[in-house]
Amino acid sequence: MRFAAIIFAVLAVFAVPAFAAENIPGEVLAVFQNPGVNDVTAESIAEGGEHAQWVNETAESLDAEVVRIYESVSVAGNEIMVLLRAKSGNAEALLEELGERSDVKAASLNYIRQRVRHKKTHKGGK
């Protein structure tokens, strides 16, 4: 059940609705498998933690920077989900490099998703 919930969460993040073809320049979402023997924890992905250090070194080797580590998904799946920004600004090249790595479980451009907000109408009164 836990595995199914993780897969659903990852797919929900990476699924791109037909109306949202625009992506944020230079940004890629990626899920790395756990590189170590220790579980991914809030402490290990916090600044200075072993997994945070690993993902920062990995990003640097890809000429990218870590914008954000998604704690809840990472800890729940014992994986590391991150938002990376290519230093060159070329997200497609970064995505290609990630696709060649055996430790990458999923990667996608960071698509813009918008929710349509409806104004609430107040019935009655003035």
Q: Tokens standing for 58?
A: 């990995």
User: Rounded to 5 degrees, what are φ and ψ at 29?
Assistant: -95, 135
- The answer to whether residue 18 scores a pLDDT higher than 50 is no
For residue 61, CA distances in Å to 13, 55, 85, 101 come to: 25, 10, 13, 12
Counting the structural domains of the chain, the total is: 1
- The answer to whether residue 94 scores a pLDDT higher than 60 is yes
For residues 1-12, give the mean pLDDT: 50
Residue 125 counted as domain residue: no
Residue 11 counted as domain residue: no
CATH number for the domain that contains residue 36: 3.30.70.80
Residue 118 counted as domain residue: no
* Residue pLDDT, tens place only, 32-63: 999 988 999 999 999 999 999 999 999 999 99
Residue 2 counted as domain residue: no
pTM: 0.75
In contact, 12 and 63? CB cutoff 8 Å: no
Residue 120 counted as domain residue: no
Residue 62 counted as domain residue: yes
Range of the domain at 85: 25-111
* Confidence category of residue 66, pLDDT binned at 50, 70, 90: very high
